[in-house]
């Protein structure tokens, strides 16, 4: 369980930083982080960090795909986590 929590924290921190780096690169006219990489970081469990990065850095907030799919990924991950928690910890064993 400890490793899962560490993984979730690390991937969310990574997603948050990735959005910040992409914003910095965009403002300075440098080569950018691909949108695919930003979405993959969210899909791998970093959707909360990605959403927080979008809001904090005000980055990708005008792109409809990011405004729709990042929160959707977060909701699906919360639902999946809740279902797994319910299955393993709440349902009676028998």
Q: Give the pLDDT score at 94.
A: 61
DSSP state of 59: -
Question: Tokens 């927080």, residue?
Answer: 52
Q: What is the mean pLDDT of the chain?
A: 95
**Domain segments of the chain as ranges:** 2-90
Compute the Cα dihedral for 65, 71, 76, 81 and give only its sign: positive
Q: Mean pLDDT across the stretch 64-87?
A: 96
- Give the up-direction half-sphere exposure of residue 92: CA atoms within 13 A in the CB hemisphere: 1
pLDDT tens-digit profile of 1-40? 899 999 999 999 999 999 999 999 999 999 999 999 999 9
**Share of residues in the chain with pLDDT > 70 (%):** 99
Alpha helical stretches, state H, 28-46: 35-41
**Confidence at residue 93, expressed as pLDDT on a 0 to 100 scale:** 75
Question: Which contacts of 4-8 are long-range, i.e. CB under 8 A and separated by 24 or more positions?
Answer: 7/45, 8/45
């Amino acid at each position: 369980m400890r490793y899962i929590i560490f993984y979730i924290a690390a991937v969310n921190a990574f997603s948050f930083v990735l959005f910040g780096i992409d914003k910095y690169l965009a403002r300075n006219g440098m080569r950018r982080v691909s949108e695919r990489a930003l979405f993959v970081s969210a899909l791998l469990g970093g959707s909360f960090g990605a959403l927080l990065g979008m809001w904090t850095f005000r980055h990708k907030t005008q792109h409809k795909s990011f405004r729709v799919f990042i929160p959707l990924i977060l909701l699906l991950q919360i639902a999946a986590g809740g279902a797994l928690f319910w299955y393993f910890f709440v349902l009676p064993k028998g």
